[in-house]
Amino acid sequence: MDFYYGRVILLTGASSGIGKAAAEHLASLGCRVYGTSRRTEGRKQVFKDEHSQGYMEMLKLDVCDKESVKEAVQYVLEKEGRIDVLINNAGFGISGAIEETSEQEAFSQFDTNFFGMHRMCRSVLPIMRRQKKGLIINISSVAGLFAIPYQSMYSASKYAMESYTEALRMEVRDFGIRAVLIEPGDTKTGFTDNRYYCAESENTAYPKSKASIERMEKDERNGSKPEEIARIIGGLLSKKNPPVRISVGLIYKVFVQLKRVFPNRLVELILRKMYA
């Protein structure tokens, strides 16, 4: 418990799902957690435990708004004097065929999932460099390793996060900053119900898309609990040199290994059988 005591954590997308579970778990370990959400009105303390000394406060932050990011980061810095851990969890999913995804819809997906992460990193990295230490945890997805049909924009945004984080690790290592990817598989959260469907999908020319998306949503509703991801995040805080990535779920760990050794056509065939 002493190791976690007082660690200052800034966590985006903390109002539900993985973010909420992570915020509550880290606070229970004794961390000082600042969770964020676009929908949070005002600032309020939502958790304080006299035994763990953990603390959690929700802040209003829109990762798509540079000024909103700046204000939230500055608030935490003024109150705590430092930021030890940044967890980039804010995101959502778009479903639909590539042909039926507009440029605006595609940009919206990247603006939140990828550029939102980039805005957060740019705001926090100068603080961590001055501290000469810090940890950045980017919540990716197994879809960042395996492109899913009719989830192309979501997969692409997570693929981009993967390479971004790999480069980030090398750039900031000399400053004592570490970065790591967490790649959840199917997880039972509100993410499923909040999925956005491309406008043109209503009269789709791709008849298999509906069944594919229904299969994915069924898997998500029967997936792992977000508390499992929260415990993995908590475990990372005690690692001096965290791994590049952590894939969550036995079946997905197997998939990762198969992709490394199996021909691409075979991997594609398996995914087509599952989702196409």
Task: List residues with catalytic annotation.
Answer: 15, 140, 154, 158
State the first-to-last Cα distance of the chain, in angstroms, to the nearest integer: 47
Q: Is 161 helix (H, G, I), strand (E, B) or coil?
A: helix
Per DSSP, the residues of 96-146 read S-GGG--HHHHHHHHIIIIIHHHHHHHHHHHHHHHHT-EEEEEE--GGGTS
**How many residues make up the chain in this entry?**
276
**Directed axis angle between helix 116-131 and helix 152-172, to 10°?**
10
57-85: buried (b, 16+ CB within 10 Å) or exposed (e) per residue? bbbbbbbeeeebbeebbebbbeebeebbb
Q: Which residues pair with 182 in a beta bridge?
A: 139, 246
The Cα–Cα gap between 21 and 24 comes to: 5
Q: Which residue type, as a one-letter code, is found at position 67?
A: E
Per DSSP, the residues of 207-242 read THHHHHHHHHHHHHHTSB-HHHHHHHHHHHTT-SS-
Q: Is the four-CA dihedral 250, 16, 90, 244 of positive or negative sign?
A: negative
